[in-house]
Structure 1
Amino acid sequence: MLFFRLFTFCGLFRAGDDLMKELRADVLIVGGSLGGCAAALAASQAGFKVILTEETDWLGGQLTSQAVPPDEHGWIERMGCTRSYRRLREGVRAYYRKFYPLTPQAKSDPFFNPGTGWVSPLCHEPKAALFILEALFAPLTSSGRLIILREHKAIAADTAGDRVRAIKLRDLRSGAEKTISARYFLDATELGDLLPLTGTEFVTGAESRAQTGEPNAKDRPEPRNVQAFSVCFALSYHPGEDHTIEKPINYEFWRDYEPKLTPAWPGKLFSWTISNPRTLQPQTYHFDPEGETGRAFSGLWTYRRILDRKNFQRGFMPSDITLMNVPMLDYLEGDITCADEEERRRHIERAREQSLSFLYWLQTEAPRPTGGYGFPELKLRADVVGYTSDGLAKAPYIRESRRICAEFTVCEQHVSAALRPRDNRAEQFEDSVGIGYYRIDLHPTCGGDNYLDIESLPFQIPLGALLPVRVENLLPACKNIGTTHITNGCYRLHPVEWNIGEAAGLLVAFCLERNLAPRAVRDFGPRLADFQKLLMRSGIELAWPPDIDPNEGDPHRHAV
């Protein structure tokens, strides 16, 4: 019953949010993303008073409110993530073993994958991760070290010179406003929303080759050329039933939509034939809720399946549940990083309509593997994503954020396998605060670029990429660090974002204890060494083994 009481506790706490008009903390973390959650745990466990805010009612960002099962590398079960991220993963597996009627084989599998999806070794329901995050936060909120303000949005900032003094928040339910002052501020929003509010220098979109020296950079800067975002949703499949949704108003527009990309997209976006991300040649994928066998046949039903009914006792699950985060949902009609509030709202509404139109296409016009068209048996599972009004995920899946102008920027030449042919690891950084791995994976952009998907090497997260060039007491805590448009493509995934947030939380704790500025940690070798010892004691790996084989890291290397 303990886990269920946690949700009751959180509900009671929310009722009192409006009573607090002015608050003060050691650390204010704006954004309940994965990085924000990791930062909040790290800083509050270190003994400091932390306030964490989130625009939705679910913490966890891409893992929960955005409904994206974790994209991870091939070594994840034995190395390449922080101890606390591993604890989160183990908690998810324990959740299923505790509460679900698993088969004996599934229950005893140390690497149990609830959905056996082939995108990740741990595909699971968003609520499972939410459950564990709430459990991790419970003792910290009970002790008063951590206050969580859900459904709150940052709307203004008070700054003085190179420092931030306070952030004004609006309660999205009541409209009430409150001001929070702190010694440190962490931007853990999905789009880097604190950066323009505080006047922190940042970049968006694609840099030029002259700016970064990257072979795949643009001829000139294109600040509004940003990767597509997507609004995801969950489906189950019920033979003999008809769950067709109401036809979206602009369905014909999306059904006939052809991306205008370079190199060219092979045709309509709603099709099983799309661009192969690595070769850019047309590739036909498969979709078969009844007979799909997974990655060997590029199966999109099993790709991000989050519950596989074969893992549960006979009769418990009437259907698999799969999460749709597929290329057909990539929204290419506009950029939301540079948009004002009205433009951002409009683009997100259109992206939600695109997702519903794709669902309607699936139910009515998508070619079936055995002939015929449409899968009316597909059921939109609003319950899986938290009962939103349209049944889609609470928040869009954001791939690319505003990024700080940093003391150090990670570029393509630091991590690209092709540019480092004699290396098995990326550039080694003396100021490493963590490690990660993923291919440089850029989805099509609203500026007209097709995929850029190239091999990278196991990399480090340099502390310099977490330090703004000017502002002293604001740090990035997720995908808004000092990367480029290109290297964002490998630093944006779940375990890396968690590591970034945890390192940022520990950095502010280290600075608060010693009355230091963050850049003073990086600038003085003995002090940096002390901080890195703290990171290692906290379970953060700072370097990949020198004999690592990069070919083992790509979880999709066997997919057609």
Structure 2
Amino acid sequence: MTSHQKCTDGVGRRDFLKRLAVVAPLMWAAPACVAGRPHRSPAAADELVADLVIIGGGLGGCAAALAAARRGLRVIMTEETDWIGGQLTQQAVPPDENAWIETIGGTRSYLALRTGIRDYYRAQTPLTARAMANPRLNPGNCWVSRIGCEPRVALTVLEAMLAPYVASGQLRILRHYTAVAASVDRDRVHAVRVRQRNTGHDIELRAPYFADATELGDLLPLTRTEYVTGAESVAQTGEPHAMRTAEPDNVQAFTMCFALEHRSGEQHVIDRPSDYASWRDLAIPAADGVTYRLLSFDEPANQRIGFDPERRTGYWSYRRVIDRDLFALQPADDARYRHDVSIVNWGQNDYSFGSLIDVSAATAQQHVARAKAQSMSLLYWLQTEAPRPDGGAGWPGLRLRPDVMGTDDGFAKYPYIRESRRIAAEFTVCEQHVTTESRPDATRAADFPDSVGIGHYSMDLHRTTRGDYGRYGATFPFQIPLGALLPQRVENLLPACKNLGVTHLTNGCYRLHPIEWNIGESVGNLVAFCLAKRCAPRAVRQQAKLLQDFQRELARVGVPLQWPLPG
């Protein structure tokens, strides 16, 4: 097993910070060429060519781009918004990680990302001496993660990691572009047409390989790649907790996250949302069979956790990204660290009233608008009606922080997506492969000889569009099988996000930050390996020698393939 005690990926802290300072101006510049080939300006061009085209700039897309560029490939990556980084940045979700992430459970480059975030705070913010010396600095001291940080900081570090390849021309990032069409011949994708969201300008992207790193698996229908949505049936998967009949429209809720600080004694109450009463009074079922108001802490689990921004406890510290106690501020110092900042991503603003998958653009926009209205009503309720420990109601000092989110209103740039379209894969990971309940006589998850990475998280399913309350089942530490990254038919399109071969249930444990990164990194390395060996991805899984060589390459670059044996 690869050691992860040194997780800077060969870049020392001083070198990293020097790189961050020097290349920051280059991050936004379009390179003039790619590996010796001139790039025309997107304003004038209608076609660009690369070795790998990645549609989607989330964590999986960034990891795929980084891995492929490090292997010498020419890469084009598109992104719908102006921020790469997906759930860590534009969706504002502090990393959900396994319990051992500081030493194992992430790839070397993912651990380097985490190190870079800590180094940024040490170099660029007025940390206290104690916080500065803490090797496991958690800027938010949150309890959902061991490294809660501002989305903007994660963005800065991600761009610094990619900047050398942007500057050299190996990597081109096209922001504000979405895929609108694809050219497909039988089992191969030849080109994907992308459109600039602001100008309507189209570019044809051509490559021998494509990766779908979109949050919803958008390339799958465009390329006529077979895919699955929603909840499968027992007959389809054999999973103990699968549905009696398939429910393709039954997907997990998505969430419009927002950032809050609390200024005690001040008034920052927003205007009452026009639909506030309907959200406040809406009742939803819970695990105990009782229905509770959506905007409340009435459910027993929520009551135990509580919420108190004055005492800075409960849900307030859950997804906190700035803990003011870690910063030794002088009067002239940056005011953004004078108050705690917490990200609101709770069950109370999970939007389970419609899906974004396989619906019209207008319908999707309506659901996103309603999800934002739900979150806005939650904010107003917290400011005005939420019960306080002292018997009062509401915290009027709660205040949105647009600067943290990079938006005008303090809400995330993009919905936090939990469930995507999923490829119909050569191999699908099912509940019986990973959960402790399904493997009562086992001491570990199923062994996958074609492993291309590892991960661990509980099988965490949030409320769904069919009203299922969700599940939270324990799992063994598991592997990522290469077979789950291979479509059954299409030869040169690979998943690099949450769209791999998992089920509605196992998506709940394969959708988290370090696992998505690992998926993307393995895909980027797989494309480079296949181009070098002149073989197809499918052949790597089918031929023992190729698989052995590829797994050796993954281990060399710091992708662990198995967990330590129990005992």
Q: TM-score range by the shorter chain?
A: over 0.9
Residues 124-139 of structure 1 mapped to structure 2, 5 A cutoff? 124-139=149-164
Measured against aligned partners, the alpha-carbon deviations of 1:255-281 in whole angstroms (never above 9, x if no partner) come to 1111256763531110012364xxxxx
**1:322 partner SS:** strand
**1:29 partner SS:** strand
Report what 1:373 is aligned to: 393
Measured against aligned partners, the alpha-carbon deviations of 1:417-475 in whole angstroms (never above 9, x if no partner) come to 01212333200110000000000000010111002111110000000000000000000
Pair 1:287-2:307 in alignment: yes
2:49·2:207 contact (CA, 8 Å) conserved in 1? yes
**Quick one: which amino acid aligns to residue 484 of structure 1?**
T
Report what 2:552 is aligned to: 533
Deviation of 1:7 (Å): 4.5
Report what 1:342 is aligned to: 362
Pair 1:232-2:234 in alignment: no
Report what 2:499 is aligned to: 480
Q: Output the CA distance in 2 between the equivalents of 1:79 and 1:285.
A: 29
Q: Output the CA distance in 1 between the equivalents of 2:278 and 2:326.
A: 40
Deviation of 1:374 (Å): 1.1
Match of residue 467, structure 2, among 448, 457, 462 = 448
Q: Output the CA distance in 2 between the equivalents of 1:273 and 1:154.
A: 43
Deviation of 1:13 (Å): 2.8
Q: Output the CA distance in 1 between the equivalents of 2:307 and 2:288.
A: 25
1:187·1:477 contact (CA, 8 Å) conserved in 2? yes
Q: Output the CA distance in 2 between the equivalents of 1:165 and 1:74.
A: 42
2:27·2:166 contact (CA, 8 Å) conserved in 1? no
Deviation of 1:175 (Å): 1.1
Query: Percent identity, aligned pairs only?
Result: 54
Match of residue 74, structure 2, among 49, 58, 70 = 49
Measured against aligned partners, the alpha-carbon deviations of 1:57-101 in whole angstroms (never above 9, x if no partner) come to 000000000000000111000111100000000000000000111
Could you list the runs of 4 or more consecutive aligned residues of structure 1 that deviate by over 6 angstroms after TM superposition?
Answer: none
Structure 1's unaligned 5+ residue stretches are: 277-281, 294-298, 549-560
Pair 1:461-2:480 in alignment: yes
2:190·2:206 contact (CA, 8 Å) conserved in 1? yes
2:240·2:438 contact (CA, 8 Å) conserved in 1? no
**1:541 partner SS:** coil
Q: Output the CA distance in 2 between the equivalents of 1:11 and 1:480.
A: 29
Measured against aligned partners, the alpha-carbon deviations of 1:342-391 in whole angstroms (never above 9, x if no partner) come to 11111011101111111111111111121211111001001100024x32
2:227·2:423 contact (CA, 8 Å) conserved in 1? yes
Q: Output the CA distance in 2 between the equivalents of 1:265 and 1:208.
A: 26
Pair 1:543-2:562 in alignment: yes
Q: Output the CA distance in 2 between the equivalents of 1:412 and 1:359.
A: 36
Pair 1:521-2:507 in alignment: no
Q: Output the CA distance in 2 between the equivalents of 1:262 and 1:113.
A: 32
Report what 1:323 is aligned to: 343
- Give the TM-score taking structure 2 as reference length: 0.92
Match of residue 145, structure 2, among 105, 117, 120 = 120
Report what 2:437 is aligned to: 418
Q: Output the CA distance in 2 between the equivalents of 1:12 and 1:135.
A: 13
Q: Output the CA distance in 2 between the equivalents of 1:437 and 1:211.
A: 24
Count of matched residue pairs? 537
1:434·1:460 contact (CA, 8 Å) conserved in 2? yes
Report what 1:509 is aligned to: 528
Deviation of 1:543 (Å): 0.4
Residues 424-443 of structure 1 mapped to structure 2, 5 A cutoff? 424-443=443-462
**Quick one: which amino acid aligns to residue 416 of structure 1?**
T
2:285·2:292 contact (CA, 8 Å) conserved in 1? no
Report what 1:357 is aligned to: 377
Q: Output the CA distance in 2 between the equivalents of 1:361 and 1:107.
A: 37
**Quick one: which amino acid aligns to residue 350 of structure 2?**
D
Residues 78-97 of structure 1 mapped to structure 2, 5 A cutoff? 78-97=103-122
1:255·1:357 contact (CA, 8 Å) conserved in 2? yes
1:266·1:275 contact (CA, 8 Å) conserved in 2? no
Change (3 A) 1:340 1:73: same
2:329·2:338 contact (CA, 8 Å) conserved in 1? no
Pair 1:66-2:81 in alignment: no
Pair 1:406-2:425 in alignment: yes
Report what 1:310 is aligned to: 325
**2:181 partner SS:** strand
Residues 91-240 of structure 1 mapped to structure 2, 5 A cutoff? 91-240=116-265
Change (3 A) 1:506 1:12: closer
Q: Output the CA distance in 1 between the equivalents of 2:245 and 2:539.
A: 34
**1:13 partner SS:** coil
Report what 1:271 is aligned to: 296
2:60·2:497 contact (CA, 8 Å) conserved in 1? yes
Deviation of 1:245 (Å): 1.4
Match of residue 382, structure 1, among 377, 402, 409 = 402
2:24·2:163 contact (CA, 8 Å) conserved in 1? no
Q: Output the CA distance in 2 between the equivalents of 1:83 and 1:326.
A: 30
1:332·1:444 contact (CA, 8 Å) conserved in 2? yes
Q: Output the CA distance in 1 between the equivalents of 2:102 and 2:309.
A: 28
**Quick one: which amino acid aligns to residue 99 of structure 1?**
Q
Report what 1:279 is aligned to: none
Give the RMSD, CA atoms, in angstroms: 1.6
Change (3 A) 1:6 1:265: farther
Match of residue 9, structure 1, among 6, 26, 31 = 26
2:286·2:292 contact (CA, 8 Å) conserved in 1? no
Q: Output the CA distance in 2 between the equivalents of 1:360 and 1:544.
A: 45
2:26·2:167 contact (CA, 8 Å) conserved in 1? no
**2:549 partner SS:** helix
Change (3 A) 1:261 1:254: same
- Give the TM-score taking structure 1 as reference length: 0.93
2:285·2:291 contact (CA, 8 Å) conserved in 1? no
Q: Which moved more, 1:479-488 or 1:262-271?
A: 262-271
Pair 1:243-2:261 in alignment: no
Pair 1:259-2:293 in alignment: no
Report what 1:557 is aligned to: none
1:433·1:535 contact (CA, 8 Å) conserved in 2? yes
Deviation of 1:19 (Å): 3.2
Structure 2's unaligned 5+ residue stretches are: 1-17, 32-39
Pair 1:28-2:53 in alignment: yes
1:440·1:490 contact (CA, 8 Å) conserved in 2? yes
**Quick one: which amino acid aligns to residue 313 of structure 1?**
A
**1:167 partner SS:** strand
Q: Output the CA distance in 1 between the equivalents of 2:387 and 2:355.
A: 31
**1:254 partner SS:** helix
Measured against aligned partners, the alpha-carbon deviations of 1:155-209 in whole angstroms (never above 9, x if no partner) come to 0001000000000111011111111111100000000000000000000000000
1:6·1:134 contact (CA, 8 Å) conserved in 2? no
Report what 1:552 is aligned to: none
**Quick one: which amino acid aligns to residue 367 of structure 1?**
P
Change (3 A) 1:16 1:241: farther
**Quick one: which amino acid aligns to residue 364 of structure 1?**
T
